[in-house]
């Protein structure tokens, strides 16, 4: 206690702890900046949606067409983020997934809400971007969900340019 009063007590914050604080503070304080950027959510025609759920029979179709296998789609950070993880099975087909020029969108089929991957000033996009994807490696994208529009059990479509992973179920 005397060391604290005399100013001899020093607290050291490592770069990782500071980065976590900045990241969490940004999500908390600037939720309006993370809202969907389109003026109105697009409506999705449920009849046009295929069944590419994580546990369904269509993962082979996703791997054959886009070169990826969905590993996880779950709520994270107390529901403020949606964590999307995928394994690359064919780097050439999945090349669009690693492009920094593509702005991925997560569309909630229940509400029509569109979630985007936030971009932090010093960190960049909260997703894996690389010029060359590696087969067998798992990549990730974090979608901002500041209003809690997407909940456990909701069906969503994830769009990376032309690549569409449709009718995926959000886990907890």
Round to whole Å and give the CA distance between 89 and 62: 10
For the cut 80, the answer to whether the pLDDT of residue 69 exceeds it is yes
Task: Write down the pLDDT at residue 130.
Answer: 85
Task: Write down the pLDDT at residue 114.
Answer: 97
- pLDDT one-digit tens code per residue, 77-100: 999 999 999 999 999 999 999 998
Task: Write down the pLDDT at residue 137.
Answer: 96
The one-character DSSP state at 171 is B
């Amino acid at each position: 206690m005397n060391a604290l009063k005399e100013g001899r007590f020093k607290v050291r914050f490592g770069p990782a702890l500071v980065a976590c604080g900045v990241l969490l503070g940004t999500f908390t304080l600037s939720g309006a900046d993370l809202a969907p950027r389109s003026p109105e959510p697009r409506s999705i025609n449920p009849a046009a949606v295929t069944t590419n759920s994580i546990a369904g029979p269509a993962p082979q179709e996703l791997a054959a067409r886009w070169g990826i296998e969905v590993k996880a789609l779950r709520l994270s950070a107390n529901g403020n983020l949606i964590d999307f993880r995928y394994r690359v099975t064919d780097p050439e087909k999945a090349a669009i997934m690693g492009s920094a020029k593509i702005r991925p969108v997560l569309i909630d089929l229940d509400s029509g809400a569109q979630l985007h991957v936030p971009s932090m000033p010093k960190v960049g996009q909260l997703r894996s971007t690389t010029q060359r994807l590696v087969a067998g490696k798992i990549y990730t994208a974090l979608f901002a969900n500041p209003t809690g529009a997407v909940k456990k059990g909701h069906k969503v479509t994830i769009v990376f340019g032309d690549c569409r992973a449709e009718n995926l179920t959000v886990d907890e």
